[in-house]
Structure 1
Amino acid sequence: MATAAFEDIADTFDFLDDWEERYRHVIELGRAMPPMDEALCVPATKVDGCASQVWIMPRIEAGVFDFQGESDATIVRGLIAILHALYSGVPVGQVAQIDAQAELARLGLDEHLSSQRSNGLRAMIQRVRTLAADAQ
């Protein structure tokens, strides 16, 4: 149940030959992501459980989930961009139905991220799910 934006990322990952190229692509995705207003990088939007500083601010309009995200780490900004592609535009009630771990496994992220990054990614996924649940 992935979005078209996520499918585009998955297709690109299939095309890339090795993890170094995929890693660079994750970084490029993060660099292409619009920055989040610094005024929104506050304790209320901070994601606990990440080794890096991470903030996620939901934007829900007409029952459709979207969010802004920011991190002080380049690779984590890329992971936020991937999560944005996975969840943005999904009806709020369907966010919890997305099997993020399975979708991200298609990219090979589960095999190539450090345990700290993997824990942080799980914390970001949980934050997105909680924000969507709270918005219902």
Structure 2
Amino acid sequence: MNLPAAAQEALDAFAACLGWEQRARLLMQWGERLQPLSEDERSEANRVSGCESQVWLVGARSGEVWQFRAASDARLIRGLLAVLLARVDGLEGVELQQLDLPDWFNQLGLARQLSPSRSNGLNAVLQRMRELAAG
């Protein structure tokens, strides 16, 4: 399966990092790229449960493909959300269902740094995306 352009960009950028410190810095930079959510979008209805940090997710379908936006109050989580969004951008619902999240973070070299709680949180975000896509 072909990667979305943003996902390929993420892979290339993270592959060029020499260590965790560089990856962490890059992750923060990616987090800055998230489009901010409005106050209305930061509602309880859009909050993802299962995350230690506050995370909000909104999704919209355009034809067959999905576009998601997300926000968090935690900088590192924003970065992780940004690379997750890069990976799922423009996927169809079926592709979302098949996405292997641990494999994606492994490819980015971020898997070892994901604590169980962060990993659970990101899985909760992906699960929410799948629920939205399933309609």
Aligned residues of 2:47 and 2:54 also touching (Cα < 8 A): yes
SS at match of 2:40: helix
| CA–CA distance in structure 2, aligned partners of residues 109 and 48 of structure 1 | 23
Aligned to 1:84: 85
Aligned to 1:5: 6
Aligned residues of 2:34 and 2:69 also touching (Cα < 8 A): no
- 1:21 and 2:40 matched: no
What RMSD over aligned residues (CA atoms) do the two structures have, in Å? 1.2
Aligned to 2:60: 59
Q: Deviations over 1:95-124 (max 9, x none)?
A: 112222212211122211222211111111
The one-letter code of the counterpart of 2:86 is: A
Aligned residue runs from structure 1 range 92-103, under 5 A: 92-103=93-104
Aligned residues of 2:97 and 2:130 also touching (Cα < 8 A): yes
- TM-score (norm: length of structure 1): 0.92
| CA–CA distance in structure 2, aligned partners of residues 16 and 55 of structure 1 | 29
The structure with the greater share of residues assigned to helix is 1
Task: Give, in angstroms, the shift of residue 27 of structure 1.
Answer: 0.8
Select between 101-110 and 24-33 the one with higher mean Cα deviation. Answer: 101-110
- TM-score (norm: length of structure 2): 0.92
Task: Give, in angstroms, the shift of residue 93 of structure 1.
Answer: 2.9
Dislocated runs of 4+, deviation >6 Å: none
Aligned residue runs from structure 1 range 36-75, under 5 A: 36-75=37-76
Task: Give, in angstroms, the shift of residue 44 of structure 1.
Answer: 1.0
- Can you give the 5+ residue segments of structure 1 that lack an aligned partner in the other structure? none
Aligned residue runs from structure 1 range 106-125, under 5 A: 106-125=107-126
- Can you give the 5+ residue segments of structure 2 that lack an aligned partner in the other structure? none
Aligned to 1:35: 36
Task: Give, in angstroms, the shift of residue 59 of structure 1.
Answer: 1.1
| CA–CA distance in structure 2, aligned partners of residues 77 and 130 of structure 1 | 21
Q: Deviations over 1:55-89 (max 9, x none)?
A: 00011111210111111111111111111101111
